[in-house]
Amino acid sequence: MADFAPYRPHDHGRADAQVVIRAASDDDAATLADLESTVRHTTSSPDAMAAAIADPQRLVVVAVAGDEVVGWAKTHWWDWSFGPAEAGQYLGGLTVDPRWRRRGIASTLTGVRMSWIFRRAPCAWYVVNAQNLASIDLHRAWGFVEVVRAEKFHTVRFRGGVGLLLRADAPVEYGDPWRPSVDGDPF
Ligand SMILES: CC(C)(COP(=O)(O)OP(=O)(O)OC[C@H]1O[C@@H](n2cnc3c(N)ncnc32)[C@H](O)[C@@H]1OP(=O)(O)O)[C@@H](O)C(=O)NCCC(=O)NCCS
């Protein structure tokens, strides 16, 4: 079953003020594993989610409406290069509950991760299935540029056989991207 959103470039969403973005906590691990299995039909254990949440090299964020987690996203730090897919900070999983799509939730989840990455690294990396046009359109706002296409990057292999590796450089306002201080970082 396709886990990509149907591509609808002529629809446009509207932000939903009741949705709040916050850093994930250990208590969210089981909910996120459940969301992945329900929405994307992947098996992701609560333990693996908890490990990502606890990892200081990564950011895991959730979108919440009332008491309900309606979306989530994470970053991934690769400490080794896979050909042109250099070691660095990558956008990781990103899933929004289908009932809550086109309300700007993925945009906000991506914006906070991009800010977090740009405070720590000179660029952000993103890999995506070439068929996932909704995701590719979503990420255009951050100036991602395609680096190369391949059937696999690091441990990610793409259904259909083709994935894109994209890179976005930190805007100048982030200054020296390697500065260690992240004081005031809400995430
Ligand atoms: C892709 C996904 C995360 C988007 O979540 P979302 O909260 O609906 O996205 P947003 O409302 O923030 O959309 C922001 C922009 O992305 C683009 N976009 C999002 N969904 C789209 C779709 N189905 N078709 C075309 N463009 C889309 C649009 O440019 C949109 O802006 P607009 O609504 O003003 O036109 C969601 O559909 C999803 O969970 N898909 C399945 C998992 C997945 O593919 N994750 C990404 C893996 S790399």
Residue of minimum CA distance from atom 34 in ligand 1: 12
| CA 128–ligand 1 middle distance (angstroms) | 13
CB atoms inside a 10 Å sphere around CB 146: 13
Contact 70, 133 (CB under 8 A): no
Asked, for residue 178, whether it belongs to a domain, the answer is no
Asked, for residue 181, whether it belongs to a domain, the answer is no
Question: Measured from the CB, is residue 7 less than 6 Å from ligand 1?
Answer: yes
Which carries the bigger pLDDT value, residue 97 or residue 187?
Answer: 97
Question: Cα 88 from chain centroid?
Answer: 14
What confidence category does residue 17 fall into, taking pLDDT thresholds of 50, 70 and 90? confident
| CA 98–ligand 1 middle distance (angstroms) | 10
Asked, for residue 11, whether it belongs to a domain, the answer is no
Contact 135, 82 (CB under 8 A): no
Asked, for residue 75, whether it belongs to a domain, the answer is yes
Contact 46, 28 (CB under 8 A): no
CA atoms within 13 A of residue 104's CA, in its CB half-sphere: 12
Question: Measured from the CB, is residue 98 less than 6 Å from ligand 1?
Answer: no
pLDDT by residue (tens digit) across 47-61? 999 999 999 999 999
Instruction: Tokens for 85, please give them.
Output: 């897919």
Give the pLDDT confidence score for residue 181 in this predicted structure: 45
Asked, for residue 186, whether it belongs to a domain, the answer is no
Q: Which domain holds residue 59?
A: 19-171
- The CATH number linked to 110 is 3.40.630.30
| CA 101–ligand 1 middle distance (angstroms) | 7
Domain count for the chain = 1
Give the pLDDT confidence score for residue 6 in this predicted structure: 96
**Does residue 171 register a pLDDT over 70?**
yes
**CA 111 → CA 52, 58, 164, distances in Å?**
19, 15, 20
**Does residue 180 register a pLDDT over 50?**
no
| CA 180–ligand 1 middle distance (angstroms) | 32
pLDDT by residue (tens digit) across 130-163? 999 999 999 999 999 999 999 999 999 999 999 9
Contact 68, 105 (CB under 8 A): no
**Does residue 177 register a pLDDT over 60?**
no
Asked, for residue 79, whether it belongs to a domain, the answer is yes
Asked, for residue 127, whether it belongs to a domain, the answer is yes
Asked, for residue 14, whether it belongs to a domain, the answer is no
